[in-house]
Every structure is written in structure tokens, then in C-alpha cells.
């Protein structure tokens, strides 16, 4: 059974038909779902979903696109949610998001990393166009003490190797199925299988042949199959390894 290590089941388009989405996923062999928070306003919705649906595990954090909302009060609220969480996330840096100044993103990222290390739980890390700064911060804040996932990884094989040395898992998503994917194919081929996980990032990053429509966890086997083809191994080997890696990291 596969683990979707990053899917936004609280997103209205998925949440309004959650029973069907989960049933389709289960039929496809996807039985565990990590649901990350991106904005404090929606943490309670994620908590409710996790409380009422089997196989759903919550993470809470403030996405860099919402880093301007970070405050001492939100930090305290995040601490209150962590006893029920399997991770802090998604957190990170997004330098394509110019609406939020970089220094604000960095401060929110550092504070949430420190909280995760203090609480002893892993992190879900988002990064776009900020890998050098992000890797420096991860080292400075001792992320290796808790580990985590480089979510929907889009960096180079060299950055992936750095992340693995810090005890992070590399997560491959739908773009691995795209015809124009280059670096991600190299990453999927080179990262040790015991450092690899898979995700959908539903409702985004829809894999082929469904690209152009909304993504959902039931499409996760397409990602696993692409990784298997790239590595020249069986689907079952990828499924077993990525599931084992996810269950070990999140304790599920």
C-alpha cells in the first residue's frame, strides 16, 4: 500500500468529495495520507479530517506564501496543534513569491524549524528558487536531529545529495511523468531508494495522462510507476521502499 506524503485534502475541491477521493485512492492502493497545513486558518479543518477519517495524518505549518501572517500568537497556536501532528509543514522558502519579503520568509522558516527540533518531529520543506539559502538554514537549525521531506523536489541532483546527508527524504511528485522533465529524472534515478518517498501534492502537480485536470491521491501509482521505469526496477520495489521510508519517518 502506498503512502501519499503530501496531499491537501482540506482543499475545498477535494474536501467536498472526500469520501469518493479516499475510496478511489484506496482502490488504487493508496492507504495513508499526510495532509500539510499552509495557513493557520485551515489547521482546524485538517484536524477535523484527521479525527474523522482513517489513514489521514495531519501536519501543521505556515507556507512561505503566508509567512507575513507569522506572529507570536500564531507560533503559540502552532505549538498547541503539534501533539497531534506527524510533522511541521509545509514550511520553507519561495523566492518566486515576491509578495512576501525574503527576510520575513526566512524568519518564519527558522522559527518553525526550531519548534520542530524542540518538539522532536520532522518537517515538510517547500522550496522554489531558494535552495542555497534554504540548505544553509537547514544546517544551521540542525534539521538532521528530526529529519523530514523535501516536498515535490525540484532542485538538482547535487542539492538532493546534500539534503540526504542532512537526513532528509526526497519526495518525487507528478512532474516526474512530464516529457520535459530533465533534472527530476536524474534525481529519481540517483537518490538512494531508502531516501525516496512519493506524493501527489493534490490538487496540484497532476501527473500524465491527467495533466491539465485536478490531481488527487488516486493518481499516486502513476508517480511510483514512473520512478520504477526510471530506476529500472519493479513497481513493487518502489512501492515497498517508499512506503517503508514514509512510515519510518512519520511513525505511522
CATH of residue 141: 3.20.20.140
Cα(173)–Cα(134) distance, rounded to whole angstroms? 20
Domain count across the chain: 1
pLDDT of residue 118: 96
The per-residue pLDDT string of the chain (252 residues; one tens digit each, 9 = 90 and over) reads: 899 999 999 999 999 999 999 999 999 999 999 999 999 988 999 999 999 999 999 999 999 999 999 999 999 999 999 999 999 999 999 999 999 999 999 999 999 999 999 999 999 999 999 999 999 999 999 999 999 999 999 999 999 999 999 999 999 999 999 998 999 999 999 999 999 999 999 999 999 999 999 999 999 999 999 999 999 999 999 999 999 999 999 999
pLDDT of residue 152: 97
Q: Is 229 exposed, middle or buried (0-12, 13-18, 19+ CB in 10 A)?
A: middle
pLDDT of residue 68: 94
Find the domain containing 169 and state its range.
Answer: 2-250
pLDDT of residue 223: 98
Cα(33)–Cα(15) distance, rounded to whole angstroms? 13
Secondary structure percentages of the chain, helix, strand, coil, to 5: 50, 15, 30
Residues in the chain: 252
pLDDT of residue 69: 92
Picking from 212, 240, 218, the residue whose alpha carbon sits closest to that of residue 227 is 240
Give the containing element (helix H, strand E) for 62: none
Q: pLDDT tens, 52-77?
A: 999 999 999 999 999 999 999 999 99
pLDDT of residue 43: 95
Cα(59)–Cα(66) distance, rounded to whole angstroms? 16
Q: What residues does 19 pair with on adjacent strands?
A: none
pLDDT of residue 186: 96
Q: Is 103 exposed, middle or buried (0-12, 13-18, 19+ CB in 10 A)?
A: exposed
pTM: 0.96
> String of b and e for 119-140 (b: at least 16 CB within 10 Å)?
eebbbbbbbbebbebbbebbee
pLDDT of residue 219: 98
The 123-128 sheet, strands edge to edge: 2-4, 30-35, 56-60, 87-94, 123-128, 148-150, 168-172, 196-198
* Residue owning grid cell 522558502: 93
Amino acid at each position: 500500500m502506498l503512502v501519499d506524503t503530501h496531499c491537501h485534502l482540506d482543499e475545498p475541491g477535494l474536501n467536498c468529495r472526500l469520501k469518493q477521493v479516499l475510496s478511489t485512492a484506496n482502490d488504487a492502493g493508496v492507504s495513508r495520507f499526510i495532509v500539510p497545513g499552509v495557513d493557520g486558518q485551515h489547521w482546524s479543518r485538517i484536524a477535523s479530517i484527521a479525527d474523522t477519517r482513517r489513514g489521514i495524518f495531519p501536519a501543521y505549518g505556515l507556507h512561505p506564501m503566508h509567512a507575513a501572517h507569522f506572529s507570536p500568537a500564531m507560533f503559540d497556536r502552532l505549538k498547541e496543534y503539534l501533539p497531534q501532528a506527524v510533522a511541521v509543514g509545509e514550511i520553507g522558502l519561495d523566492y518566486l513569491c515576491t509578495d512576501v519579503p525574503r527576510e520575513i520568509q526566512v524568519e518564519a522558516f527558522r522559527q518553525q524549524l526550531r519548534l520542530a527540533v524542540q518538539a522532536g518531529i520532522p518537517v515538510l520543506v517547500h522550496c522554489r528558487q531558494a535552495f542555497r539559502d534554504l540548505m544553509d538554514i537547514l544546517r544551521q537549525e540542525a534539521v538532521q536531529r528530526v529529519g523530514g521531506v523535501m516536498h515535490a523536489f525540484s532542485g538538482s541532483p547535487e542539492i538532493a545529495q546534500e539534503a540526504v546527508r542532512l537526513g532528509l527524504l526526497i519526495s518525487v511528485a507528478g512532474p516526474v511523468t512530464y516529457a520535459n522533465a530533465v533534472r527530476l529524472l536524474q534525481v529519481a534515478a540517483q537518490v538512494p531508494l531508502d531516501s525516496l518517498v512519493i506524493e501527489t501534492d493534490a490538487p496540484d502537480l497532476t501527473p500524465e495522462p491527467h495533466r491539465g485536470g485536478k490531481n488527487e491521491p488516486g493518481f499516486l501509482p502513476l508517480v511510483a510507476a514512473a520512478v520504477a521505469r526510471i530506476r529500472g526496477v519493479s513497481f513493487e520495489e518502489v512501492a515497498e521502499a517508499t512506503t517503508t521510508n514514509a512510515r519510518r519517518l512519520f511513525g505511522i
